[in-house]
Structure 1
Amino acid sequence: MSAVKQFYRLTNQLIELLEKSQTDRDQKIAQTESLLDQRETVMKGIFPPYTSEEAELGKELIQLDARLTRLLEADKDLIQKEIKGLQAKKESNAKYINPYQNLSTDGMFYDKRK
């Protein structure tokens, strides 16, 4: 199998994995990293001249790559939102436990005279 066909197959597998949201997130991330690593190694083996079939696959790959980029960005945004939510929850919990921890001393008057 040519490198372009392998790259096309791996790209389709990656898109399918990202579109189905039934799998566990940790498992999904591990599989995504594995497929991205495989794509990277196959990409290094793609050299011209291309056959007419490989040229057609290349045109399709451009569209698939844009779709893959959107899916990866969406997953990244989702993970970032969850991280921000967890940080806000952690901060809120800390404020609940000790509400006087971060009191500002701005505007406090200190008299040096006795």
Structure 2
Amino acid sequence: MSSVLTFYDVTQKLIALLEDTGLDRDAKINQVECLLENRQQAMAGIAPPYSDAEMDLGARLISLNEKVTQLMTREKLYIQKDIKDLSIKKESTGKYANPYQSIATDGMFYDKRK
């Protein structure tokens, strides 16, 4: 099997994995890393001259690569949102435990006793 065909197959598997929303995030990330490694190895094996079938696959791969980029960006945004929500939750929990910790004093009526 040619490297272009292998690259195409791995890209198709990667898209299917990224579109599947039912998987656990950690398992999904591990599988994505494995597929990206396989994809990189297949990309290293691609060298000219190309046959007509490989040229057609290459043209399809350009659009598939854009789709992979969009899906990976979406996953990144989901992870960033979860991290942000977690930090907000951590901050609000801290404020609940010690409500007077983050009071800003402007110096006008400063009380030395707390």
Write out the 4+ residue segments of structure 1 that deviate beyond 4 Å after TM superposition.
none
Is 2:22 the partner of 1:34?
A: no
The residue that corresponds to 2:59 in the other structure is 59
Amino acid of the structure 1 residue aligned with 2:10: L
Gaps of 5+ in 1: none
Percent identity, please.
53
The residue that corresponds to 2:94 in the other structure is 94
Amino acid of the structure 1 residue aligned with 2:105: T
Q: CA RMSD in A?
A: 1.2
Deviation at 1:71, TM superposition (A): 0.6
Tell me how many residue pairs correspond in the alignment: 110
Cα distance in 2, alignment partners of residues 63 and 52 from structure 1: 18
1:22/1:109 CA distance change after superposition, 3 Å: closer
Gaps of 5+ in 2: none
The residue that corresponds to 1:17 in the other structure is 17
Cα distance in 2, alignment partners of residues 41 and 108 from structure 1: 66
Amino acid of the structure 2 residue aligned with 1:70: Q
The residue that corresponds to 2:46 in the other structure is 46
Cα distance in 2, alignment partners of residues 99 and 37 from structure 1: 48
